[in-house]
Amino acid sequence: MGLLGLFKGKKDSVNAEATKDIGEVVEICDESSCGGECNGDEDAELEKGERAFGKLKIDHETPLYGSSRAPRIHFVVPTSQTDWEHDACLEDKKTVQYGIYKWCENHSDEGKSLTCAVSSLAKDIMDIEVMRGTKNNVLVLPHFIWINDLKSDKVDETLSDLVPKLLDKKQDRSKLLNEYSNLSDAGEKAFVLLCSHATRDKRCGIVAPYLKKSFDLRLQKSNLYRDISDRTAGGVNVVFVNHVGGHKFAANVQVFLRDPNVLIWLGRVTPNNVPYIVNGMIIPHQPKLPWPEKVRCIQKYQSW
């Protein structure tokens, strides 16, 4: 079976109202004009991945749009791991991620969707405090900034001071970076977050590596590939993260675009979708999307 046949094997649906909402944020295009062309070794890898995906039980009946909620701020903590305990951020009370998770949980009554994830991003294995979990760098999305050397006993103080400024629509990004010596710019063009949390659901552990390989191959062809420890500006970092919710919609893919500052959260993503995501969503200044039926949520954030 060719790639087109594999891709069209199962059909999802989306209603007109959802399509309209999605179209207000990104251009909805036809597959033929969204840059999904493949060749050579990439084509073979996509077919291999599709066969693996085809063996999994995935919910194709439930409409995806509205099945998840876009965070106003999403904190991503490096762990150099691809899988974690069931409650990943709560494994150890002394860690930075535990403190962030609890801070977000305690401030949910303010009507803000504040979330925390652990990730495969590289941690500093030469720093004993980092290895103990009591210090770490923290990526802040969609703001594309790093909180550097955040210590677990300073999480509450730091976030209580910083988060209101991040949520202030009048805040000037450059001034904020200058105001805090421990903040730095995350120069990536995009972050792609893949749920790989096999301990929560084995499907995520199976699909995420296939997707990452597909993303890496495509990004290498476009000179955009960055590995988990490479912060060179202008690239794309594809990162494994813990549970995002909705295992039955695997694979879950969160695409944070620096410019135009948009989150596109997709479900039921397979390797065949990757060329369209890279060529249609990540590379162009204005992202294009051929399948609104795969969107769980979409958010246009304030410009910085």
Domain boundaries, the chain: 16-66+188-300, 73-185
| Third-level CATH fold of 73-185 | Glutaredoxin (3.40.30)
At residue 4, does pLDDT exceed 60? no
Rounded to two decimals, what is the model's pTM? Answer: 0.93
Q: Which pLDDT tens digit goes with each residue over 158-203?
A: 999 999 999 998 989 999 999 999 999 999 999 999 999 999 999 9
At residue 218, does pLDDT exceed 80? yes
Q: Give the whole-number percent of the chain exceeding pLDDT 90.
A: 81
And the tokens for 283? 């590379």
C-alpha distances (whole Å) from 31 to each of 7, 101, 125 are 11, 39, 43
Among left, alpha and beta (phi > 0; psi -120 to 50; other), residue 35 is: left
pLDDT of residue 5: 42
Q: How confident is the model at residue 11 (pLDDT cuts 50, 70, 90)?
A: low
pLDDT of residue 1: 37
Q: How confident is the model at residue 12 (pLDDT cuts 50, 70, 90)?
A: confident
Q: Which of 269, 124, 130 is nearest to 193 (CA)?
A: 269
